[in-house]
């Protein structure tokens, strides 16, 4: 079975639940007291999609202001970006729009964008209407989904949607491989030692 | 492995108590434990791992220099008078009704005021940047007053050092573009508080670099730095907690995981073999204890930088999963730039954390490969099992030494910058008792590091324990005895203890340091 590596980065304001989404997807676990990510965290997970294996190389970036300047390093060369906001925080949705703008201007041209409204388990405290977010996502041709990392709602679905939208195989090298150094290098000379 | 097992011929001709030729060959058999730097138990066999790691003074020296310069101008007494005058105003200012949100503390309350130690950071424009308790917003006028004090004294070409009033010490540290203020009722000397302020300063620099700090404030003097520090305050909170509890920060030293030297050797050489062009330091930690450190030739790590790394790793659960990649400035190495650290645990739920420090921000996958190489190599060796075994036991018990009246001790080898200390005995199991013992050690420490009259040795009988400190040019030793012991017993215990440490030094310390 063919293996494709897909670089995916998560962007969004601090505290919206980027790491929780990744943990839920990769480890199927949830920790309510997770510390803010420092710098960025890298994880992988391989899933089967149709007759291919998709290995997601996931860059979970820190949302804090001081790491802002590092973001291009992570979205550069990404096949997809998941931009996360918190449905209980209007402000985080505004931040999301800025991320979309930045990606349009500086990101890779064919990047698949997914808009994820996290913490949908807290709908009592909702500040961002699902319809507004959906309309916005449609207007930028992005995947839209409301998620809950806590209750494992729609987490795998985001990644499946991404798999669907990624152009078919022969373009693989083109979409995810070129022009960035932060991709895994293919040639690994692994010597066995004494 | 390491062929160069010879000790370096550091000049120790002046005042050597132990014959030098003994030291060159049979360290463990040396009749008198070395009292001279470089010969004490635990001294590194090749050049040291850290840069000028020996002294506590090292940390405070910079500030002292700046002060001395300032003292050349204008009279100091004048400054102090002014200080005390304005101090009364300050106390009034603290009563301003606050607007308290998070951190859930009312800064006008008695509870807030009675905290043992307050730390404040502000910008030179007087904008609040950090407070240990309460919220910065609620303290903006208080911090304004602090800045007014600093500028008022500065206008006379003076530098404000401290205010002593009402049993309280207020110590100022001006590190342009930041001003740091510590307030404590418990500290014995200004110097102690100053040392902690320095740590807080370095913590902030390690997040942003001094270059970036300067740049920001040059462009916008009244910039609110909290924007950039948002989400990182807990690092400073944790550092302050460590300053109260971790002997390593008190001693300006690092402790090692006790491990057979052959196992440590294998681990170190596995780490040494996993090298990469831009790799500067490889650090393997077991919780708060160092397992090994491999460095680029001629590059040294300062113990402050290492403590900042410990703090970063120890404070955050975010490195627990996956592989972390973060910029970090090591301020004692270079305040101008960032290194990039690859941080990951060797196994899930393990205490073993590997930190690979690279100069290149795009080096993540190279570092990731280095880690994999190290792990592949190590997991084939029995040393890995030995390491895991060593992790299971907390540390070592003081009973092993066979000195009945000795309860606890801290021994620091000055030349290696490493210290060793047994686990707390039963009497000091509770947090409260441990805190009390640490406070006693802090007392001893401030006596032997007194700025004007440092003591070489110190013995004090107390109701609950007898405390003793002894400092030579080679080591610092702090001991806690049962209250029933005598001074004579204590002194003979010290000799016995030093012999024991000498015998065990292979296990307790890292004696040889590898470079790539």
Could you give the ipTM of this predicted complex? 0.86
Instruction: Identify the residue among B231, B327, B329, B342 best suited for mutation to test binding to A, counting A beta carbons within 10 A and taking the highest.
Output: B231
Residue in B316, B325, B377 nearest the CB of A35 = B316
Q: What is the pLDDT of residue B2?
A: 41
Here the CATH number for the domain that contains residue B272 is 3.30.450.30
Do residues B268 and B354 both lie within one domain?
A: yes
DSSP per-residue string spanning B436-489: HHHHHHHHHHHHHT-SSS--SEEEEE-SS-EEEEEE-SSEEEEEEE-TT--HHH
> Is B373 contained in some domain?
yes
B50 bridge partner residues? B301
Q: Which of residues 432-451 of B touch A (CB under 8 A)?
A: none
> Is A187 contained in some domain?
no
Do residues B406 and B494 both lie within one domain?
A: yes
Q: Which residues form the domain of B406?
A: 398-508
Pairing of strands B117-123, B128-131: antiparallel
Name the 3-class secondary structure at B411: strand
Here the CATH number for the domain that contains residue A65 is 3.40.50.300
Closest to B37 measured CA to CA, from B53, B22, B21: B53
Residue B504 has pLDDT above 60, yes or no: yes
Q: Which of residues 359-418 of B touch A (CB under 8 A)?
A: 361-362, 364-365, 368-369, 373, 376-377, 380
Spell out, as residue ranges, where chain A has pLDDT lower than 70: 169-194
The mean pLDDT value for B409-434 works out to: 92
> Is A193 contained in some domain?
no
Here the CATH number for the domain that contains residue B494 is 3.30.450.190
The reported pTM is 0.84
> Is B31 contained in some domain?
no
* Long-range pairs of B244-250 with CB within 8 A, sequence gap ≥ 24: B244/B117, B244/B435, B244/B438, B245/B434, B245/B435, B245/B438, B246/B288, B247/B410, B247/B419, B247/B421, B247/B438, B247/B441, B248/B288, B248/B303, B248/B307, B248/B310, B248/B419, B249/B199, B249/B307, B250/B438, B250/B441, B250/B442, B250/B445
Do residues B377 and B408 both lie within one domain?
A: no
Residue in A35, A190, A193 nearest the CB of B317 = A35
Q: How far apart are CA B360 and CA B367, in angstroms?
A: 10
Radius of gyration of chain A (CA): 16
Whether residue A43 and residue B321 make contact (CB cut-off 8 A), yes or no, is yes
End-to-end CA distance of chain B: 12
Binning pLDDT at 50, 70 and 90, where does residue B76 land? very low
Q: Which residues form the domain of A26?
A: 2-165
Do residues B222 and B278 both lie within one domain?
A: no
Q: B269-322, pLDDT tens digit by residue?
A: 999 999 999 999 999 999 889 999 999 988 889 999 999 999 999 988 889 888
B308, B209 Cβ separation under 8 angstroms: no
> Is A41 contained in some domain?
yes
Domain final residue pick, B345, B371, B392: B392
Q: B439-482, pLDDT tens digit by residue?
A: 999 989 989 998 888 899 999 999 999 999 999 999 999 999 99
Count of domains in chain B?
3
Count of domains in chain A?
1
Whether residue A188 and residue B228 make contact (CB cut-off 8 A), yes or no, is no
> Is A172 contained in some domain?
no
Do residues B388 and B408 both lie within one domain?
A: no
Do residues B438 and B469 both lie within one domain?
A: yes
Do residues B224 and B314 both lie within one domain?
A: no
Do residues B261 and B387 both lie within one domain?
A: yes
Query: Cα torsion for B101, B105, B109, B110, to the nearest 10°?
Result: -170
Do residues B357 and B446 both lie within one domain?
A: no
Binning pLDDT at 50, 70 and 90, where does residue B191 land? confident
> Is A114 contained in some domain?
yes
Q: B103-155, pLDDT tens digit by residue?
A: 667 888 888 888 889 999 999 999 999 999 988 888 888 899 999 999 999 89
Whether residue A27 and residue B364 make contact (CB cut-off 8 A), yes or no, is no
Q: What is the CA B193 to chain-centroid distance, rounded? A: 13
Do residues B259 and B346 both lie within one domain?
A: yes
Residue B266 has pLDDT above 80, yes or no: yes
Chain A: give the shortest CA distance to residue B368, in Å.
10
Do residues B130 and B215 both lie within one domain?
A: yes
Domain final residue pick, B366, B392, B418: B392
More confident residue, B97 or B42: B42
């Amino acid at each position: 079975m063919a293996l494709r590596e897909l670089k995916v980065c998560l962007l969004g304001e601090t505290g919206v639940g980027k790491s929780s989404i990744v943990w839920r997807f990769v480890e199927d676990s949830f920790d309510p007291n997770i510390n803010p990510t420092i710098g960025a965290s890298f994880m992988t997970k391989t899933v089967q999609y149709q007759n291919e294996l998709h290995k997601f190389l996931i860059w979970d970036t820190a949302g804090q202001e001081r790491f802002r300047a590092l973001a291009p390093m992570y979205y550069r060369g990404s096949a997809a970006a998941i931009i996360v906001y918190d449905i209980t925080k209007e402000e985080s949705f505004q931040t999301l729009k800025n991320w979309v703008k930045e990606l349009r201007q500086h990101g890779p041209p064919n990047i698949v964008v997914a808009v994820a409204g996290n913490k949908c388990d807290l709908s009592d405290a909702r500040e961002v209407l699902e319809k507004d977010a959906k309309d916005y996502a449609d207007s930028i041709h992005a995947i839209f989904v409301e998620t809950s990392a806590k209750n494992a709602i729609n987490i795998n679905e985001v990644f499946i949607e991404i798999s669907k939208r990624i152009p078919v195989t022969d373009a693989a090298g083109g979409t995810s491989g070129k022009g960035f150094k932060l991709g895994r290098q293919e040639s690994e000379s692994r010597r066995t030692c004494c | 492995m390491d062929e160069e097992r010879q000790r370096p011929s550091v000049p120790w001709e002046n005042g050597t108590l132990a014959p030098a030729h003994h030291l060159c060959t049979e360290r463990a058999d040396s009749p008198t434990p070395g009292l001279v730097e470089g010969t004490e138990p635990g001294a590194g066999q090749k050049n040291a791992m850290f840069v000028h790691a020996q002294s506590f003074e090292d940390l405070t020296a910079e500030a002292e220099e700046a002060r001395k310069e300032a003292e050349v101008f204008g009279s100091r007494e004048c400054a102090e008078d002014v200080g005390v005058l304005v101090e009364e105003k300050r106390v009034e200012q603290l009563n301003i009704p606050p607007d308290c949100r998070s951190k859930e503390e009312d800064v006008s309350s008695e509870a807030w005021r009675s905290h043992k130690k307050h730390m404040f950071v502000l910008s030179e424009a007087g904008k609040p940047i950090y407070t240990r308790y309460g919220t910065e917003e609620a303290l903006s006028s208080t911090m304004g007053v602090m800045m007014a004090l600093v500028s008022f004294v500065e206008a006379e070409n003076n530098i404000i050092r401290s205010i002593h009033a009402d049993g309280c010490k207020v110590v100022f540290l001006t590190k342009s573009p930041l001003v740091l203020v510590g307030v404590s009722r418990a500290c014995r000397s200004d110097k102690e508080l100053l040392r902690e302020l320095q740590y807080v300063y370095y913590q902030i620099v390690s997040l942003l670099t001094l270059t970036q700090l300067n740049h920001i404030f040059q462009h916008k003097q009244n910039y609110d730095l909290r924007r950039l520090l948002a989400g990182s305050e807990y690092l400073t909170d944790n550092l302050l907690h460590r300053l109260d509890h971790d002997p390593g920060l008190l001693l300006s030293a690092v402790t090692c995981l006790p491990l057979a030297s052959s196992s440590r050797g294998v681990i170190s050489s596995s780490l040494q073999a996993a090298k990469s062009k831009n790799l500067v330091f490889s650090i393997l930690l077991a919780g708060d204890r160092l397992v090994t450190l491999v460095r680029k030739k001629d590059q040294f790590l300062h113990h402050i930088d290492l403590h900042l790394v410990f703090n970063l790793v120890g404070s955050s659960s975010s490195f627990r999963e996956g592989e972390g990649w973060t910029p970090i400035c090591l301020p004692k190495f270079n305040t101008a730039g960032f290194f990039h650290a690859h941080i990951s645990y060797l196994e899930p739920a393990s205490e073993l954390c590997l930190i690979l420090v690279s100069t290149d921000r795009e080096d993540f996958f190279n570092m990731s490969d280095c880690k994999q190489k190290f792990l592949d190599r190590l997991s084939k060796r029995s040393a890995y099992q030995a390491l895991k075994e060593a992790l299971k036991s907390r540390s070592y018990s003081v009973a092993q030494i066979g000195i009945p009246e000795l309860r606890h001790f801290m021994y620091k080898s000055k030349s290696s910058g490493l210290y060793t200390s047994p686990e707390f005995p039963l009497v000091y199991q509770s947090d409260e008792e441990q805190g009390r013992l640490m406070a006693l050690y802090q007392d001893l420490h401030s006596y032997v590091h007194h700025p004007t009259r440092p003591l070489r040795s110190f013995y004090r009988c107390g109701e609950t324990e007898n405390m003793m400190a002894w400092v030579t040019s080679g080591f610092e030793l702090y001991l806690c005895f049962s209250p029933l012991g005598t001074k004579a017993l204590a002194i003979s215990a010290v000799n016995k203890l030093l012999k024991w440490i000498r015998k065990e030094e292979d296990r307790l310390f890292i004696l040889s340091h590898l470079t790539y």
